[in-house]
Structure 1
């Protein structure tokens, strides 16, 4: 399907984008600054994900990284997973044109379930699979302010699923995006992208931004050279309103709607000979959300915030035959104050309701199909400085109740030693939990053993199914971390983190269930289930090293290296979904005031469990700003190596998606502001 045909199919988006272009033009503004940010700015950047309060990245007692909008744009990334490749300790592997495996510090898979991902504080993981559909959340780069990534448990503040890390995508304040912004892209992989944004003032205290984006991506190739049929289209519209009615109140309202159409060839079981088939799997995903936050400054040392969101999602899969309608309602509050002039206390609580309505078939069968989950939580965290704040200690815990798996307590202790204003050491001991999702009430059938064979001498097909267990407990991790933030020279900063993670109650092992003869579509088969249990344990350890060096005023280098070792006490094949070694070198070079050249060189080690080899590749971007408000950029991706797999086959996902090859691509982008 051509790009223009795809736009005609998405009539809603065409109307929206046309309305934006005909909207009244605001005052002329400059295009987003793409000049190099100073090292001083990066070292003093504030983050909020570590403690839910603004703090300098140098003062954070955690392994935290920040991707700025400038760094993402100049990397040439067009999707969030591609941007996250730049962060040390983050494991990113492309499965096909519309699917990625993304995790932090191991346990990677298509639905990595030990990672919490948020957009402006709104959780976007799927409770059904405990993972993220990354094609659905393809946030336009121009709308992003920064991406904060915390490597390591965040359960004390953020709750379930913040086991190995937290990714918080923070969009730009609408006051920063006044006027009209248009961006058009076309290329060999990203066939086309149309982004339009209109921002203006509603009053002297309120501003808004309305943006629309439609992207079209081409299909990739399977290893045998055939078409993978995994082309996809993403249309979305988003509205953000920022209002400061008084000097002490701030109100944020964000809403949006999106639609994704995708596909991809899959290997699926068949109850008739040859008992396996490759078929196209059409995917249709739609959603809308409303997210609001009210913040009040009670005093110089005290503030209060109340946030809530309502999120509706619809998904229809052709293979397997699965549809889901899910509504999530969430509300939580936060209060921070100074106690006894020495202790900073943060506390709060929240409630979430998830209403799920499913329709499933025998390949992926969920019982019950309709269910409502309730989640309650309360947390408190206190920080105190010692020896004129040279030593800072933070202790806290969260208590969370899930109607499916019961209560979990997630404590943490963090310490920071400000050795000098330019050097800091930190350490942490923390725990986090992941509540079971589909593993508790689903049966997966993705393999059929033909009758009359050595492994199945009977006359009926044999299905070694994987059966859920409603008695599952939450998975737990205890993490030990130590790290260093420092500025060795005026031109050089370094960040080092080491960790050991101990996991209990992992859902990686199973026990034999009751064998029975069943029927599906009028065909009898032998069902030999393996029931999931909580008997697996694991230990992972590793280190992450990153640094920023500015050898001259017009050139900045950002480099990182990550090492990870997994030791999993589970059946063979549970290890090797994440690379043991990976490295990234990103270069920003301002040739002159108009021309800039940027590149990203990356190495990713082999993934032994899914059959993906190690690779080295290079992305490069050349941009020209002939005048204020206009930028033209040419981006080349995967310039060294083309036609390789980043990921392979994994189980027990059903049906098994066929991994496609990563190809060399080019893209031309024109961006303008009026």
Structure 2
């Protein structure tokens, strides 16, 4: 249905680990995806297929089911050598939506998947498999009041052919209630309980393992958010806080304060101050490398960020709009090591530890232009300056390189053109700055797709990716993304 990108920390609602932003994917209800859909694609290095069908469940419900598969040949390394990392992924799932009496709604959905990727080092297959199910019940009490309860179960299994395998089960229960208070306060209150159980086994325990191998972790939370409309809804203030208790660091409080001021029908200014944390995980507390030369530490604390944001949105005309945002983030207790264990100045064991702090600042500009009904243009430019330093007296010499793992500048251009009723095209071009610490150069990539609607139910497509560059690196390690061209057919029935 839509993809929501929330800038900055979202911990006041989403909880711990929502540090630098949140991507919230909202899928369509089963009622909005009735009938059949089938898609096949083939290219020089990729083959994929997708199938979906939706129908009625009596007079009060709808369903849909889907299945898809993707097979991808190996990428290439610098110098055109085969990366030997061919992979495949298969997935299937369902969704059912029911409209019940008393304005109740019930949604049940689930997925099952499996995948494999070849490990180039030892030529063994690494496997991924899992399944999940979500049940969500909601009741609309009135125009400004609603209650929602959601249960979630997830099981995953992953193997890394060189290090470890992980078998994990997770359960999550959430309750949320929204209501209007004194005509100006829209309040959301709720809470949740999350438990995860894992079994992590080292492939070669002398090189890497986790102690204990099995662990159960629980987290429970309470949250409240008050959205206040003032000055005839021209000024909106939002205060929120989430309290969590986890088994790694105990109590965590993550507040947020936001404002939105509508200057007129076309112009809005907004700002926010937020605190968020990344809580420790198994790697931070339970890691054992080289039989104890490097270990995790139960004293490792949550990494913290205090974020300041300011933005401006303007509808300049009926065809042109802009969105600009700037930010300044202060980070503390960043993860490092008690020493450089490759060239140490002390004796082992060396520990995972809170060793650094840093700041990031930057901004993003987004321009949208639709000169006609059949042509639209979106241009975005982002800039990030990240500066990370170790604490005074720290022996960690690598933490300072963390500010060179992200591109300073990124530019994106997207053009959509409906040529006529039968033909349309989409162009995506992007420039991504260098990753100096990973020795990855800046690159420019251009993707172009052309779609031919033969009938209202049958479409043919031609999709080209990385068209003007035979291959380029996007991350360190030597593997490179190749130029590809795929043919695609889509049939709706």
* TM-score strictly above 0.5: yes
Correspondence for 1:441: 286
Correspondence for 1:596: 424
For 2:201 and 2:129, the matched residues in 1 are separated by: 16
Cα pair distance change 1:183/1:618, threshold 3 Å: same
8 Å CA contact 1:201–1:207 kept in 2: the answer is yes
Give 1:661-672 correspondences, 5 Å limit.
661-672=480-491
The structure with the greater share of residues assigned to strand is 2
Please state if 1:567 is matched with 2:384: no
Superposed displacement of residue 362, structure 1: 2.7
Give 1:130-279 correspondences, 5 Å limit.
145-190=1-46, 192-246=47-101, 248-265=103-120, 278-279=121-122
Superposed displacement of residue 612, structure 1: 0.4
8 Å CA contact 1:160–1:432 kept in 2: the answer is yes
Give 1:354-369 correspondences, 5 Å limit.
354-360=196-202, 361-369=205-213
Match of 2:172 among 330, 336, 345: 330
For 2:441 and 2:15, the matched residues in 1 are separated by: 35
Match of 1:283 among 126, 134, 149: 126
Superposed displacement of residue 475, structure 1: 0.8
For 1:510 and 1:244, the matched residues in 2 are separated by: 57
SS of corresponding position for 2:284? helix
Correspondence for 1:645: 473
* TM-score (structure 2 length as normaliser): 0.94
Match of 2:410 among 571, 582, 585: 582
Superposed displacement of residue 219, structure 1: 0.5
Gap regions ≥5 residues in structure 1: 1-144, 266-277, 446-462, 516-525, 649-657
Match of 2:252 among 408, 415, 425: 408
Match of 1:554 among 374, 379, 382: 374
Correspondence for 2:461: 633
SS of corresponding position for 1:420? coil
For 1:146 and 1:206, the matched residues in 2 are separated by: 22
Please state if 1:423 is matched with 2:279: no
Match of 1:348 among 183, 190, 198: 190
Superposed displacement of residue 388, structure 1: 0.5
8 Å CA contact 2:119–2:161 kept in 1: the answer is no
8 Å CA contact 2:320–2:369 kept in 1: the answer is yes
Cα pair distance change 1:188/1:464, threshold 3 Å: farther
For 1:330 and 1:384, the matched residues in 2 are separated by: 30
Match of 1:611 among 415, 428, 439: 439
Correspondence for 2:394: none
Q: Which moved more, 1:504-513 or 1:334-343?
A: 504-513
8 Å CA contact 1:426–1:483 kept in 2: the answer is yes
For 1:565 and 1:497, the matched residues in 2 are separated by: 14
8 Å CA contact 1:228–1:264 kept in 2: the answer is no
8 Å CA contact 1:383–1:395 kept in 2: the answer is yes
Q: Which has the higher contact order (CA 8 A, sep 6+)?
A: 1
8 Å CA contact 1:512–1:529 kept in 2: the answer is no
8 Å CA contact 2:297–2:351 kept in 1: the answer is yes
The count of corresponding residues between Structure 1 and Structure 2 is 480
8 Å CA contact 2:102–2:139 kept in 1: the answer is no
Give 1:291-330 correspondences, 5 Å limit.
291-320=134-163, 322-330=164-172
For 1:479 and 1:607, the matched residues in 2 are separated by: 24
Task: Deviation per CA, 1:301-360: give whole Å up to 9, x if none.
Answer: 21000011011111122212x221100000010000001222111110000000011111
For 2:444 and 2:143, the matched residues in 1 are separated by: 51
8 Å CA contact 1:480–1:500 kept in 2: the answer is yes
Please state if 1:388 is matched with 2:232: yes
Correspondence for 2:393: none
Task: Deviation per CA, 1:467-504: give whole Å up to 9, x if none.
Answer: 21111111110000000121111110111110001011
Task: Deviation per CA, 1:437-490: give whole Å up to 9, x if none.
Answer: 111110345xxxxxxxxxxxxxxxxx9954211111111100000001211111
Superposed displacement of residue 281, structure 1: 5.0
Gap regions ≥5 residues in structure 2: 391-396
Task: Deviation per CA, 1:139-163: give whole Å up to 9, x if none.
Answer: xxxxxx2221112000000101100
Cα pair distance change 1:618/1:669, threshold 3 Å: same
Please state if 1:373 is matched with 2:193: no
For 2:284 and 2:77, the matched residues in 1 are separated by: 30
Superposed displacement of residue 222, structure 1: 1.3
Task: Deviation per CA, 1:172-224: give whole Å up to 9, x if none.
Answer: 2111111111110111232x111111110011110000100011011011113
Correspondence for 1:544: 364
Superposed displacement of residue 280, structure 1: 3.3
8 Å CA contact 1:563–1:580 kept in 2: the answer is yes
For 2:387 and 2:299, the matched residues in 1 are separated by: 26
For 2:112 and 2:94, the matched residues in 1 are separated by: 9
Correspondence for 2:478: 659
Superposed displacement of residue 635, structure 1: 0.5
**4+ long deviations beyond 6 Å:** none
